[in-house]
Amino acid sequence: MSTLEKTEKEQTAPATTQQLSGSQAVLEALIHEGVDTIFGYPGGAIMPIYDALYDYNDKLTHILVRHEQGGIHAAQGYARTSNRVGVAFATSGPGATNLVTGLADAMIDSNPIVCITGQVFASLLGTDAFQETDVINITTPVTKWNYQVTDATEIPGVLAKAFYIARTGRPGPVLIDITKNAQLQLFDYKGYEFCNHIRSYRPKPIVRHEYVEQAAQLINEAKKPFVIFGQGVILGKAEQEFKNFIEKGGFPAATTVMGLSALETDHPQHVGMLGMHGNYAPNVMTNECDVLIAIGMRFDDRVTGRLDKYAKQAKVVHLDIDPAEIDKNVKATVPVWGDCKETLPLLTNLISRVDHSNWLQEFRELEKEEIKEVIYDELNPTSDVMTMGEVINVLNELTGGNAVIVTDVGQHQMVTCRYAKFNSSNSNVTSGGLGTMGFGLPAAIGAWYGAPDRDVVAIIGDGGIQMTIQELGTIMQFGAKVKILILNNEFLGMVRQWQQLFHDRRYSFVNITSPDFVAVAKGYYIDGNKISERKDLRNALKTMLDHDGSYLLEVMVGKENNVFPMVAQGTSVSEIRLK
């Protein structure tokens, strides 16, 4: 019997009553929702759930992280590579508050996560009991939905609702806080019913066909149409629909950081990455196009630069599943609400097949300028000091663009996003909206569990790795085969770059001293190596990739190399600096 047939049978089978504890009901819900991996850390208030988990080891894999923040970042990485809901457990008080950064990160980057936290007994709520924190009010701004359970009979229905909300519409994090008495309470369990509707919650807006028609008319009249796409294409599983759309229309297409891998890097209509450290051509041409077609992206400040100078000459078609994003930052001429997997085919059917090769060539001419001024020297440096770009370039050659690339936050992140090659979707895992240093290592662990058949390479700076370096213990204990590539410039590089460019080189507390990373890794029984010379680079990367198991490679790169091009804050995207 197929999984779908089993699910349908479970949904239609008559309910049978049995006595379960609230904790058992939690685990039954996870199993019914298709969860296979949980990232968590036990504690007093969630101990009944962990006690029940002892009897579910054959059905659920629990990964003991070394910090709750590592647990939620791992759940994010899992969600990003598996296209499933990530799950994290934490106890009350500090355990729950340690999830907040990850919740905020998942909220802004639309990661489907369900976090389950333990809470003190209901009778103690509001008494400042040991490890009691008002996690509901703390997490309300950074969750799509949260709820506190004080009665076990609520658990099946609440968790069904939690998973439905987390994964539908614009995905996001949900937190369910369960008091200890509800975890221990026995009740008559009548089976699990999936949630597929909530009154007042409409995950997919109604598609207005008149807007699709208006959008098609604008696009068909355009002489210089330009497509910018974001993670919405990936979240909607609409990669093929997107490709059909741009290929029929002949449009140049540029990606946001979060949209990377939705379209293969070498596609002939892919013109690069937008944003503060994006490519020269797509940034400049944003202020030259006559119709700007935005798909599954939110016009954040890193993409737009100065809003009063952003694409003022263009008519804007904005496709998004979240109505709140329409007109939030950039006024849409025509809004197309809905899931892009549904709206893109409708739009594709109505657009004309047009040759925009001359317009596309204008992007290529500007690309040549960027290659001459920036890219060639970054990938082929003449000095003895290695650049981050050349490291990524060699990595591309060895992986063929088929690896999952997980980045932390900083210069290495922007360089990787600029130069990494992606041949398939769900291959770029990074902290885009929140910019969370420390994200990379635990997210890579989760990414590997979400896609254990793929090479997972975590590219991290010497600053970010030290924020969650304890998660090497998680790798040691559970064996995730993560390749860790530390690009060490002995600075908090992105802050240093800004201090150099905008604060007269007043380097205030950006010099960072690091431990012997290879020795630290070996302390966790993880093999590793450190190199500082170009002649060793290819073999060192190949050894890392070929190693059967996790591996840490530290590469020393230029201390004061900068990431260019750059759109300085407060300037227009067309004022992007090549140097």
Angle, CA 270 vertex, CA 267 and CA 274 arms, to 5°: 150
Residue 86 has φ and ψ, to the nearest 5°, of -85, 150
Q: Known catalytic residues? A: 68, 130-131, 180, 494
CA distance 64 to 110: 24
3-state secondary structure of 308: helix
- Cα–Cα distance between 263 and 270 in angstroms, integer? 7
* Residues in Cβ contact with 405 at an 8 Å cutoff, skipping those fewer than 6 apart: 416, 420, 422, 427, 428, 429, 457, 459
DSSP 262: S
Largest CA distance in the chain: 73
Amino acid at 140: T
How many Cα atoms sit within 13 Å of 112 on the Cβ side?
23
Start-to-end C-alpha separation, the chain: 61
Please name the helix (run of DSSP H) or strand (run of DSSP E) that holds residue 304, with its range, or none: helix 301-304
d(CA 429, CA 417): 10
CA distances from 319 to 186, 364, 570 (A): 48, 26, 27
Separate counts of helices (H) and strands (E) for the chain: 24, 20
Alpha helices, DSSP H, located in 168-231:
180-184, 209-221
Cα 41 to Cα 473: distance, rounded to the nearest angstrom: 13
Task: Please tell me what DSSP assigns to residue 374.
Answer: I
Compute φ and ψ for 531, nearest 5 degrees: -130, 155
* Residue 19 buriedness (CB in 10 A; 0-12 / 13-18 / 19+): exposed
Please work out, in degrees rounded to the nearest 5, the angle formed at the alpha carbon of residue 550 by the alpha carbons of 546 and 556.
80
User: CA nearest 252: which of 237, 273, 269, 274?
Assistant: 269
Q: Which residues contact 482 (CB under 8 A, 6 or more apart)?
A: 441, 444, 445, 447, 448, 456, 457, 458, 475, 550
What is the distance between the alpha carbons of residues 538 and 185, in angstroms, rounded to a whole number?
A: 59
Residue 63 to residue 66: CA distance in whole angstroms: 10
Q: Which amino acid is at 426?
A: N
Token pair belonging to 246: 């741009």
Residue ranges of the alpha helices (H) in 66-121? Answer: 68-82, 94-97, 100-108
Q: Are 447 and 424 in contact (CB under 8 A)?
A: no
